[in-house]
Amino acid sequence: MTMWVFGYGSLLWKPGFEVAESALAVLPDYHRSFCMRSVHHRGTDVAPGLVLALDAYTGAQCHGQALRVATGREDETLAYLRERELVSSAYFETRLTVDLRDGRQVEAVTFVIDPDHVQYCGSLPLEEQARIIARATGGMGPNAEYLFNTAAHLRDLGIDDGDLDWLDGRVRGILG
């Protein structure tokens, strides 16, 4: 069975699995935002960082990439993604329909935020997000690096995200 994964953050620049095909895609009724406190990868328990998550929002659209997993690699890829994405159980693993730019619709493994989880922090003002991202570092490195890589890859793909562009500039300004 063909397996697709929807990438909207670090999966765009660090999928960690063999991608057989990638296509620009839109996920309806969700938006990408820094609404999850990171206590493992980009922050710590003492100084949490922020990572992107998909937050349900009727009428929204999240532009990203659908990544088709190489045939025969589905089980190992799913195990890898679960270890990576479900480290603190703040995401729900789900399969959602995404619209590919070429007109196809595919079902994709998608990790969406649990708004009842302690790490959820939706609606933080952008300035507060920038201050958190500028200072936090976790097991995978500086939080700012995560922001800069994601914003750069979205631009490379031709995906506009005004909030990420603003955060990219503001965090660079804070860091000097």
Quickly count: other Cβ atoms within 10 Å of residue 92's Cβ. Answer: 14
Catalytic, out of 76, 85, 93, 145: 85
The tokens of 83 are what? Answer: 């270890």
Residues 6+ apart with CB under 8 A from 83: none
Active site residue 83: no
Rg (CA), the chain: 15
Q: How many CA atoms lie within 13 A of 9 on its CB side?
A: 21
Judged by phi (left if over 0) then psi (alpha if -120 to 50, else beta), residue 10 lies in alpha
Count of other CB atoms within 10 angstroms of residue 175:
12
Q: Catalytic positions, please?
A: 85
